[in-house]
Amino acid sequence: MATTDPFAGERLKESPFHPRQAPMNLRDAWSSWNGFKFADYYYDTVYEYFCIRNFCGTYDICPMQKYLVTGADALAMLDRMVTRDLGKLKTDRVTYCCWCTDEGRMIDDGTIFRLDEDRFMLTCGSPCIAWLRKSMIGFDDVAVRDVTEETAGLSLQGPTACTVLKTLGLDGIETLKPFGIQRFPFHGDTLMVSRTGFTGGLGYELWIPAPLALTLWDALYEAGGDYGIHPYGEAATNMARLEAGFIMPYMEFSEALKTVNYQHDQSPFELGLDWLVDFRKPHFNGRAALLAERERGPRYRLTKLDIEGNKVAEDAILYNNRRCSRQVGYITSAMWSPAAKANIALAMIETRYLEGDIWAEIYYPKELRPIRKMARCTVRDKPFWSGPGARQTPPPAT
């Protein structure tokens, strides 16, 4: 008689790539994402970070939510949900977007893939089926299906990524432009490749029916053997995305639908996502509130900071003077950037203090003793790092 696992209800699910990833997780450094067992790192965070910047690495995006939105009204429905104008999104193109509550507060961000005239894939960090169902109200011909578990996604990021895919036999992949989609026959099915990612460098995301996940993994690792391919986890992702200036849920923003305290969520304007909000389209969720916010100006602005010294400003509070008499904001993410060789951070800063001095109050440990340091911050406009030729087509050879 088969014994049942009494802890089955508490065990994490395994991604379709798990059988290959698990033996490579030498440190048993697991965390979780949407109920899936998920690597924090495999061998060494910095090693994996440098795979992204120097060779290429794979990041398991199976736990990311994927919804197939189909029907004659699919476009209209999504276009009303998100702040960006989807009318411009052509077939086989991908766009980054966000969606808001009626109050203009951000629920989540994600990407929308236009797979066909009336066929879309929406990907996002957290489950959002309830909000999608709410957004469908009033549209007759639209269906939403959660394809998270039937679709395996693997992100391949780094300067050798294109070469690896060419070696894999994806002819013409070098012609794929940023945010474009191409399809390739793969073991009797279709491998979909989008030139998308979360690292600020050259990168692709590979989409395959889950049963073919391991076949894809093996082929990819065979092709990538001479190009330094290596899996990377959450820790390295977080480093790369911060250098690129990308936002992370629960670091830069709290999802509006899950926030208890008033306005402890954020608006797209506060997050510097102005470019995602298109008031030229007639109506979308949160439009009126966002229009009003644009008029009066957002209270906070997510700001890129270059901080003097090399002590990481994690969780630091920001002031407009070094005596700390007036608080002007707080750090959301911070790290020492190996690629930019700078002490970088993203911070929420009250808009009216952006022009003045900004000081971070940093605490760092020195053999158990906490040391306090005031460090001057400089506002940066551009990403801290961007991959050389990352947006070029065809991409540079290595």
Q: Which is nearer to other proteins, 112 or 161 (CB)?
A: 161
The least distance separating other proteins from the CB of residue 380, rounded to whole angstroms, comes to 12
Q: Least Å distance between CB 69 and other proteins?
A: 39
In whole angstroms, how close is the CB of 159 to other proteins at the nearest point? 7
Strand-pairing partners, residue 223, are none
Among candidates 170, 197, 203, which has minimal Cα distance to 392? 203
- Which of residues 153 and 233 has its CB atom nearest to other proteins in the complex? 233
Nearest approach, Cβ of 224 to other proteins (angstroms)? 10
When the beta carbons of 55 and 186 are compared against other proteins, the nearer one is: 55
Q: How far is the CB of 157 from other proteins (least distance, A)?
A: 14
Q: Which is nearer to other proteins, 145 or 341 (CB)?
A: 341
Q: How far is the CB of 241 from other proteins (least distance, A)?
A: 17
Beta carbon of residue 363, minimum distance to other proteins (angstroms, whole number): 12
Going by C-alpha positions, the residue among 314, 363, 319 that lies closest to residue 334 is 314
Listed residue (275, 253, 233) closest to 96, CA to CA: 275
What span, in angstroms and rounded, lies between the C-alpha atoms of 16 and 154?
10
Question: Quick one: 49 or 246, whose CB is closer to other proteins?
Answer: 49
Closest to 234 measured CA to CA, from 63, 106, 54, 365: 63
C-alpha 79/C-alpha 351 separation (Å) is: 30
Q: How far is the CB of 282 from other proteins (least distance, A)?
A: 43
Identify whether the C-beta of residue 126 lies closer than 8 Å to the C-beta of residue 179: no
302 Cβ contact list (under 8 Å, min separation 6): 247, 252, 266, 270, 271, 272, 332, 346, 347, 348
Nearer to other proteins, 16 or 224 (CB): 224
Please identify, using beta-carbon distances, which residue of 229 and 348 lies nearer to other proteins: 229
**What CA–CA distances, in Å, run from 200 to 136, 237, 274, 277, 368?**
33, 11, 19, 21, 36
Whether residue 273 contacts residue 98, with contact meaning beta carbons closer than 8 Å, is answered with: yes
CA distance 285 to 268: 12
Considering the complex, what minimum distance in angstroms separates the CB of residue 200 from other proteins?
13
Give me the least distance between CB of 168 and other proteins, in Å please.
13
Q: Site residues (CB under 8 A) for other proteins?
A: 27, 43-44, 46-47, 50, 53-55, 159-160, 163, 225-228, 309-311, 336, 338-342, 364, 366, 371, 373, 385, 388, 398
Measured over the CA atoms of residue 369, residue 375, residue 379 and residue 384, the dihedral's sign is: negative
Q: By C-beta, is 146 or 306 nearer to other proteins?
A: 306
37 versus 311: smaller Cβ distance to other proteins = 311
- In sign, the C-alpha dihedral spanning 38, 44, 45, 51 is negative
Q: Which of residues 100 and 239 has its CB atom nearest to other proteins in the complex?
A: 239
